[in-house]
């Protein structure tokens, strides 16, 4: 056999073995919990705990999941479910299923270039990706990496309104398709795990956390390879913020406790496009958001990371749908860990849902491939559960599929 032929044969064999091992590994992930377990092994503790935790006793964090799981389905049979579709629209944008990736801070610390990887996975899957103000990769970096494919941008309103206005203009320049304003972070909730891990803005590791970082060689190697290690939307963009020290001081003072509905009206006027208001837990706040110009409201308690002891998001969803569902889209966030959870929220009136932790577990476990796997898991669970409830299209899902 000629040497080149032998080389080609060996290379093909190695390539086949690689794909076989990869396929076998991916087949082992059948639910989001599988991805969470691997992420816990691969992501440094301070950043894993940042994701997998809530404020104070974590009661609301746990209840978000538990209350979703308590909603039982009514199975139906002998229905024609041959041709099924999960396709719908969220704030006018076609989506392959009623799911968007939620804005999550420090995504680029779960995996190097995390925001870019998650945006690419969402783009290929046909769902929206929402970039956080507190992202590691900047608006411009994500836009460049996704070839200007439209994504959504989440805005924190800062005391420095010039900086806030600059973020809006940068989002417009990056062709962002929607702007999301988060209303429930006027002050920070206390998260015990973050304090104990020395996680601040930016992170200030202790000797213990440094040792843990060094025990994650895959994570460290990936971080060494990227230039995205700071808050890309802030450093070099906010006035006077050109170093880590100045970033710490600026961030500490910028979250605005005076945030009001007048600010939402001001943002709507300057943005002009689809506006989503996130952090709604009360019907009256939902009405005020719509009156201020919101095209959609997100029922969310920040994943149980702000007010501990608050009601679960799913327990407040129906009242908010009843209050504003005829005038604006109602979306749902906080607690989704499966496609069944998506179906439950849609049944109670949500026109769209968001995954944060579920996506981050996939990202921390396997990077972009892990995000894609998380989306595949959720789509499969959503499709099959909808079928078992006797529905062939997501638009046919209503409260009658639930026993509650």
Which residue in 111, 228, 302, 331 is the catalytic one? 302
The answer, yes or no, to whether the previous bond of 202 is cis (omega within 30 of 0) is: yes
Strands 99-101 and 130-131: unpaired
Report how far residue 52's alpha carbon sits from residue 256's, in angstroms, rounded to the nearest whole number. Answer: 26
Closest CA to 156 of 182, 138, 179: 182
Q: Name the phi and psi angles at 262, rounded to 5.
A: -65, -35
The number of CA neighbours under 13 Å toward the Cβ of 320 is 30
What the block records as the tokens of 114 is 């995390």
Determine how many CB atoms are found less than 10 A away from the CB of residue 72: 11
DSSP state of 298: E
Tokens representing residue 333 in the block: 């966030």
Asked if residue 106 lies in contact with residue 136, where contact means CB atoms within 8 angstroms, the answer is yes
Backbone phi, psi, residue 360, to 5°: -65, -35
CB 373 within 8 A of CB 117: no
Q: Which residues contact 15 (CB under 8 A, 6 or more apart)?
A: none
Q: What CA–CA distance (Å, rounded) separates 68 from 123?
A: 28
Task: State the alpha helices, DSSP H only, in 28-128.
Answer: 32-42, 45-51, 59-69, 114-125
Helix (H, G, I), strand (E, B) or coil at 123: helix
282 is catalytic: no
Tell me the C-alpha to C-alpha distance, in Å, between residue 377 and each of 27, 119, 270, 373.
Answer: 11, 18, 38, 6
SS3 assignment, position 253: helix
Question: DSSP character for 172?
Answer: H
Q: Which residue has the tokens 């080609």?
A: 8
Q: Indicate which residues carry an active-site annotation.
A: 302
């Amino acid at each position: 056999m000629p040497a080149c032929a032998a080389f080609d044969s060996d290379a093909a064999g190695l390539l086949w073995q690689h794909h076989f091992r990869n396929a076998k590994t991916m087949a082992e992930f059948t639910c989001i919990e599988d991805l969470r377990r691997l992420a816990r092994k691969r992501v440094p503790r301070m950043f894993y705990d940042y994701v997998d935790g809530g404020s104070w006793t974590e009661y609301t964090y746990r209840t978000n999941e538990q209350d979703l799981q308590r909603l039982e389905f009514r199975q139906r049979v002998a229905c024609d479910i041959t041709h099924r579709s999960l396709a719908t629209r969220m704030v006018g944008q076609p989506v392959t299923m009623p799911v968007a990736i939620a804005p999550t801070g420090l995504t680029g610390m779960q995996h190097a270039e995390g925001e870019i990887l998650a945006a690419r996975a969402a783009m290929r899957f046909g769902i929206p990706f929402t970039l956080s103000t507190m992202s590691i990769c900047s608006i411009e970096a994500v836009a460049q990496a996704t070839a200007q494919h439209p994504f959504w941008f989440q805005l924190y309103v800062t005391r420095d309104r010039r900086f806030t206005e600059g973020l809006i203009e940068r989002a417009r320049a990056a062709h962002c398709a929607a702007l999301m304003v988060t209303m429930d972070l006027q002050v920070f909730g206390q998260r015990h795990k973050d304090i104990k891990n020395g996680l601040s803005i930016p992170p200030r590791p202790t000797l213990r956390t440094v040792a843990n970082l060094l025990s994650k060689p895959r994570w460290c190697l990936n971080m060494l390879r990227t230039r995205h290690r700071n808050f890309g939307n802030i450093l070099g963009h906010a006035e006077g913020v050109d170093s880590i020290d100045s970033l710490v001081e600026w961030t500490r003072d910028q979250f605005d406790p005076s945030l009001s509905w007048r600010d939402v009206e001001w943002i709507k006027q300057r943005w002009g496009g689809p506006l989503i208001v996130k952090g709604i837990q009360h019907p009256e706040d939902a009405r005020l958001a719509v009156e201020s110009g919101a095209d959609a409201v997100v029922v969310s308690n920040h994943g149980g990371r702000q007010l501990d002891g608050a009601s679960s998001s799913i327990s407040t969803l129906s009242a908010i749908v009843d209050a504003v569902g005829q005038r604006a889209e109602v979306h749902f966030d906080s607690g989704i860990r499966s496609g069944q959870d998506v179906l439950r929220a849609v049944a109670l009136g949500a026109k769209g849902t968001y995954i944060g932790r579920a996506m981050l577990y996939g990202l921390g476990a396997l990077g972009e491939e892990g995000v894609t796997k998380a989306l595949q898991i959720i789509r499969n669970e959503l499709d099959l559960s909808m079928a078992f409830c006797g529905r062939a299209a997501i638009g046919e899902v209503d409260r009658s599929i639930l026993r509650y």
